[in-house]
Amino acid sequence: MPGHRPAPEGDTGGPAWPADALAPGSRVTVVRDPDWDGPWQVEFTGTIDPMGAPEPNEHAHALSGELLYWVTFDSPQYDGDGAGPYRKARIWGRYLRAGAGAA
């Protein structure tokens, strides 16, 4: 399929990994939204998890073409409502910054 690459580790059961998406294993910083108190209590680092290819975000407030990524956190985190701790979550693409700031 044009614009896609196979999912890592031979996973053929799910969707292909989009060619323009952050690659599995990429280091990222999960950032807070500047307009509201969330979606996480603090900014933190993590890694794009290969467990599932990024998928289109179909939420009504998603940006056009925005993807959802599985991210494994370097340390457990609490969301903006105080729930958690979480070690991994699906994160909207707008809240991810590749490389810069990721340890």
For the segment 6-20, the average pLDDT, to the nearest whole number, is 67
Cα–Cα dist 56/53, whole Å:
10
Query: For 53-91, b where at least 16 C-beta lie within 10 A, e where not — what string?
Result: bbeebeeeeeeeebbbbbbebeeebeeeeeeeeeeebeb
Q: pLDDT category, 1, cuts 50, 70, 90? A: very low
pLDDT in tens, 17-70: 999 999 999 999 999 988 887 899 999 999 999 999 999 999 999 999 999 999
- Residue 100: the pLDDT is 56
Q: pLDDT category, 13, cuts 50, 70, 90? A: low
- Residue 2: the pLDDT is 38
Cα–Cα dist 95/30, whole Å:
6
User: The whole model's pTM is what?
Assistant: 0.81
Within a domain: residue 26? yes
For the segment 77-83, the average pLDDT, to the nearest whole number, is 93
CATH at 56: 2.30.30
Within a domain: residue 12? yes
Task: Quote the number of domains for the chain.
Answer: 1
Percent of the chain that is helix, strand, coil (3-state, to 5): 5, 35, 55
Instruction: Write out the residue range of the structural domain in which residue 47 sits.
Output: 4-98
- Residue 88: the pLDDT is 97
